[in-house]
Amino acid sequence: MKLAAWIKKSGVSARELAARVGATEATISRLKNGHALPSMEMAGKIAHASGGAVTANDFLDLGPETPSSPGNGLDGARILLIISGGIAAYKSLDLIRRLKERNCELRVILTRGGSEFVTPLSVGALVGAAPYTDLFDTKTEFDIGHIRFARESDLIIIAPATADLMAKMAGGHADDLATAVLLATGAPILLAPAMNPHMWAHPATRRNVERLTLDGVSFIGPNQGEMAEANEAGVGRMAEVPEILGAMEIIVGKAGAKPLEGRHVIVTSGPTHEPIDPVRYIANRSSGKQGHAIAAAAARAGARVTLVTGPVGIADPSGVNVLRIEAAADMLKAVEGALPADIAIFAAAVADWRVAQLADQKLKKKPGANEMVLDLVQNPDILKLVSRGHKRPELVIGFAAETQNVVENAKTKRRAKGCDWIVANDVAHERGVMGGEKNAVHLVMEDGLEDWPEMTKEQVAEMLIERVASAFSPAKASA
């Protein structure tokens, strides 16, 4: 990043620069680290403050090019990207770059709101052609026309998609180029929403999401996490670019290799909540990130995926049939109902215990009693029941969350449960796996052990699904 290099070389600190250009130090740090793009005005001030050493174009260096993936499912696809207004618009510049790498025929519409966050100039520089911005631009209409635009796309991706744009789509509005194209198109539409968590949770947005889903629109994200606004966190962050690309590949349906095509994969994910009384439950810290990433990777590999998930705060993966449950007993029922399957992957952190007697009224404190004893009984072991059941999938994979003797315990667990493989991970608190982004796992098989390096949960999922695809015998697929 040129700004970082200049700050280092010039001896001007981020704080000093912030004061000179009227920004906060945090903003300068984000710009310096390539985590945000400046407005044209801010870029101009920085150019001035640096004596022209750092110009607006220098902010378009978004990191090293990644080589096109061999299974590029977007090769040659005609993609229309709509960028609407939101702080996440800067990620769309990276998306453009990745789509260009993937050989997509790319056109971009920048809504009026979108151009408040990224400039037509920066978008145009990356696309290699000016973005379209106005419905009544006669030149644009002559050049392509919104109806042709609508027809000549294999996929329309809206990233970021604002609450307002979604509301307009749900209502069938067509008062600017983006909404006119969206109303006129027969192409599949994928939305990557990004907004404040309160806006995402608002009943109006919920209604619009439901309406759009019924209309056949697909969603990727939003994800849980910190928002650009200070002290705001929750579900509302735009999905990351690799997640968006993955969802696009599934929709365009051109992914070269579909090694799990025709296969049914069941994945369990997240925690379970075991009720104590109408207001309390027993739970654990599982976020569902690993299980959801596995479900998404299996879908990308062409499988029909049933994801049985406990209560989580993350988005449903694209292209997956999601069954939501709360308690272990319901998870067992849902898994049994989803059988037969070719492959079952049990990534859920199922609660081992539930209360023996579920109270139908809220438990009250007893006067004078300082202690409270709950009688617990063991939950059904879903992995074991399925592994030993008469509808056993051909390949059954369990997880082992361990805090000590990870591999040894996992080997014992694999035999005890009767599954084929165990993905063992060290969930000792200091490693931050539970709820965290990364995972260092060991794959324990009957005849071998693999120690995988620390990776993101998405990478673990990709690698596991690759292993599944190569180990899975091409036997008859289940119904």
Shortest distance in whole angstroms from residue 466 CB to ligand CTP: 20
Q: Which is nearer to ligand CTP, 50 or 379 (CB)?
A: 379
Footprint of ligand CTP (CB under 6 A): 268, 328, 346, 348, 350, 352, 379, 381-383, 398-401
Task: Please identify, using beta-carbon distances, which residue of 150 and 344 lies nearer to ligand CTP.
Answer: 344
The minimum distance between CB 423 and ligand CTP, in angstroms, equals 8
- b/e per residue 4-33 (b: at least 16 CB within 10 A): eebbeeeeeebeebbeebebeeebbbbbbe
Compare residues 10 and 412 and give the one whose CB is closer to ligand CTP: 412
Q: How far is the CB of 235 from ligand CTP (least distance, A)?
A: 24
3-state secondary structure at position 70? coil
Rounded distance between C-alpha atoms, residue 2 and residue 259, angstroms: 43
Element (H, E) at 190: strand 189-193
Nearer of residues 32 and 354 to ligand CTP, judged by Cβ: 354
Smallest separation, CB 381 to ligand CTP (Å): 4
In angstroms, the CA 331 to CA 66 distance is 40
Q: Is 374 helix (H, G, I), strand (E, B) or coil?
A: coil
Q: Are 330 and 290 in contact (CB under 8 A)?
A: no
Tokens 């994969």 -> residue: 265
Q: How far is the CB of 298 from ligand CTP (least distance, A)?
A: 16
Distances (CA, A) of 276 to 268, 281, 386, 419: 23, 5, 27, 31
Q: Strands (DSSP E) along 385-456, which ranges?
A: 395-402, 421-426, 438-439, 441-445, 448-451, 455-456
| Residues tagged active-site | 284
> Between residues 120 and 436, which has the closer beta carbon with respect to ligand CTP?
436
Please give the structure tokens belonging to residue 137. Answer: 């631009």
Q: Which of 51, 56, 58, 46 is nearest to 20 (CA)?
A: 46
